[in-house]
Structure 1
Amino acid sequence: MFRDKPLRAAMARARNVLRLIALVGCAFVLIASPANAQDEADDGAWVLDPFARVEAGIVLSESGDRENDLIINGDGGYLRAQIGITFGNDTSELRLDADRIEVERFDSATGRDGFNRDRLTAQFSQAIDDDWEVQLRGRLYDDLVTVESIDTDELQGSVQVEYEPERAHRFRLRGTWRDREYDDGEGVNGASSTGQGPRVDFEYRHRIGRYHYINFDLRAEEINSANPDRAYTRESVGASYTRPITRNLRVRPAIELRHTRFDGRFTVDAEERDDTQVVPEVELLWWTGNWRIEGEAKYIFSSSNDPSRDREGYRFAVSVGYVF
């Protein structure tokens, strides 16, 4: 996949470093004693806390154009596994984790019946005082599906600043830089084409009570690339409301608006492709003990100056997970 030598070497070094971190973390998981961790917590020292998660899910989706001449099915299922550790105290925390998803499509719209995605994360959080916290995070993705490509490798670094003057109000601002490589053979001399660019996220959460929230999210991002098919800019805004129904069951209605412009993809009228999506959804979350059972229903309205992208359709998903 990594045909472009400079980026390949950089990605390979980063991948090896993060894998080494993950292996060291797993070793700590094997030798760590929960009882000792609790004793250290009582002493106010740094505590090592291993964690793991397994999850299985099924997705049913279908979309079509306004005349129903083009129907696209996206049914599938997936398995996900995650393992990691946190190591910290009341003010500082280091988190290392490895995450893998295996996806199998029942009806392939793209000719790709299945795929997998790997993710390695190293993250450090530091409380400045009672109100402020700073977080540094590095991530490596392999075979990530993105808006501009179905097969993307990504190395990203981000900084987040959190301000929570009281439990009722929390503000987060995150800046992320992303370097991407695409398995397309469309770069120089048949190498993979590349892209890079920033993303900025802002989140405000108003806490009404236990598991009772209102969230507002804003995002602006872009990818610049010498390959015109990979360059784009996007802005999105979303709002959600989480309300507990019982102690373990919550409902979460939400809506998101996304606007995407592709710099090098043109319509039949020689205009840059311009897409807008409106996505209302409702989600049910039943978290009881270590079990996580979630159901999601979305309806996606897509409008575009490219008639083939002017679509709408549904997406239903159910997942069952267990946290160790």
Structure 2
Amino acid sequence: MTDKQTRRIMVLAAIAVPVFITAGAALAAEGPDGERSSWRLDPSLTLSGRVVTAESAARFEDETIDGTAWAVRLAPSLELANDDVTLTFRNATTRLEFRDADRTDRWQNTARLSGRFALGDESSVTVFGERADNMLSAEFSLTDEWEAGGEFEYAPDKSNRIQLGGSWRERSYDDGENSSGRGPRVDAEYRYRFGANHYAYLRGRYDEISSDNPRREVTRWLASASYQYPLAQDIRVRPEVSYQKLDYRGRPVAAGGFRSDKVLSPELTILYSPGPWQVSAEARYIIRSSTDPQFDRSGYRLALEMSYDF
């Protein structure tokens, strides 16, 4: 993250946080007749640390690791809510350090403002805007992004829930060419609840980026299924499998055509959450085939994360 980007984020946070707190406090305060407002202001803070080790890993949106890295993340948030509306401001700042001296350590930041509006007992609509700096995307490792979108949720009972979402993204890349990209994202999720901490999920996603730089263009299809089972009150196990297809239509390969990747990832995660602590241990094997021999490789990915909610 450049000094200019850091200053911009600090200025935005310095303005947005006090304004949000002041507005929330005013709404949540007692009225002149002593009646309590229906609005509630709820601040929170999460501090987390994460260690990742991987070999020949495929690229995912959260991070690209081929070796060992660690990250520290600080995520304050403010929630202002009444019975029908929930407004949330959340900011997450991450320091990512690589063991490999040839990799560039970095600061990452994501700020998100969202509003959730209840449409009755069974459905709701959420709209959001988000700014991300220095994130790792499918098409480049240093990406800044503006994103705006919405989500519709329908839950006819405690067991079934359906979510449909979409957004538009504007991206810029720190690639020395001032490249930019833009495109839509559409996703869907079905969740079935068996009981407390006992769920099954099906997810699907389509997104694409068009760019003035052909090497930044990408189209992706993704599908995943997961199952979470409670082993004890504070311990859950979650097996998951995901499949994604990525087409890089601006990257020709020597054998003819363009680069296309297929990625299959079986994964097992164990979660432990005693009180305000959250601990997760994740093991994933990434199986990737590509029309570009340089990326036709597979490997493991192990991660351990610990966080505390203040």
User: Do Structure 1 and Structure 2 share a fold, with TM-score over 0.5?
Assistant: yes
Q: Which of 173, 176, 180 is the aligned partner of 1:185? A: 176
Match of 2:278 in 1: 292
Match of 2:40 in 1: 47
Match of 1:68 in 2: none
Deviation at 1:24, TM superposition (A): 3.0
Match of 1:303 in 2: 289
Match of 1:279 in 2: 265
Distance in 2 between residues matched to 1:169 and 1:13, nearest whole Å:
42
Distance in 2 between residues matched to 1:217 and 1:202, nearest whole Å:
6
Equivalent runs, 1:131-150 vs 2, <5 Å: 131-150=122-141
> Structure 1: where are the runs of 5+ without partners?
3-7, 66-71, 187-191
Q: Which of 110, 115, 120 is the aligned partner of 1:119? A: 110
For residues 197-253 of structure 1, the C-alpha deviation after alignment (integer angstroms, 9 at most, x for no partner) is: 000010000000001000000000000001001001000000000011100000000
Q: Which of 119, 139, 146 is the aligned partner of 1:128? A: 119
Distance in 1 between residues matched to 2:49 and 2:22, nearest whole Å:
26
- Structure 1 consecutive aligned stretches of length 4 or more whose deviation exceeds 2 Å: 12-20, 22-29
Distance in 2 between residues matched to 1:184 and 1:200, nearest whole Å:
27
Deviation at 1:92, TM superposition (A): 0.8
State the secondary structure of the residue aligned to 1:20.
helix
Match of 1:99 in 2: 92
Q: Which of 153, 159, 166 is the aligned partner of 2:150? A: 159
Judged with a 3 Å threshold, the aligned counterparts in structure 2 of structure 1 residues 27 and 142 are, in CA distance, closer, same or farther, namely: farther
- Native 8 Å contact 2:57 2:301 kept in 1: no
Deviation at 1:308, TM superposition (A): 1.0
Is 1:194 the counterpart of 2:180 in the alignment? Answer: yes
Distance in 1 between residues matched to 2:262 and 2:82, nearest whole Å:
44
Match of 2:62 in 1: none
> Structure 2: where are the runs of 5+ without partners?
59-64
Judged with a 3 Å threshold, the aligned counterparts in structure 2 of structure 1 residues 17 and 81 are, in CA distance, closer, same or farther, namely: closer
Q: Percent identity?
A: 33
- Native 8 Å contact 2:40 2:81 kept in 1: yes
- TM-score, normalised with respect to structure 1: 0.85
Deviation at 1:270, TM superposition (A): 2.8
Distance in 2 between residues matched to 1:151 and 1:248, nearest whole Å:
37
Distance in 2 between residues matched to 1:233 and 1:18, nearest whole Å:
33
Distance in 2 between residues matched to 1:232 and 1:283, nearest whole Å:
29
Q: Which of 191, 195, 214 is the aligned partner of 1:228? A: 214
Question: What RMSD, in angstroms, separates the aligned Cα atoms of the two structures?
Answer: 2.7
Distance in 2 between residues matched to 1:193 and 1:113, nearest whole Å:
20
Is 1:237 the counterpart of 2:227 in the alignment? Answer: no
Q: How many aligned positions are there?
A: 297
Is 1:86 the counterpart of 2:96 in the alignment? Answer: no
- TM-score, normalised with respect to structure 2: 0.89
For residues 249-292 of structure 1, the C-alpha deviation after alignment (integer angstroms, 9 at most, x for no partner) is: 00000000000000100111231100000000000110111001
| One-letter amino acid of the structure 1 residue matched with residue 143 of structure 2 | T
Deviation at 1:116, TM superposition (A): 1.6
Q: Which of 11, 24, 31 is the aligned partner of 2:19? A: 24
Deviation at 1:63, TM superposition (A): 1.9
Distance in 2 between residues matched to 1:28 and 1:78, nearest whole Å:
33
Deviation at 1:107, TM superposition (A): 2.3
Match of 2:54 in 1: 61
| One-letter amino acid of the structure 2 residue matched with residue 61 of structure 1 | A
- Native 8 Å contact 2:57 2:286 kept in 1: no
Deviation at 1:115, TM superposition (A): 1.2
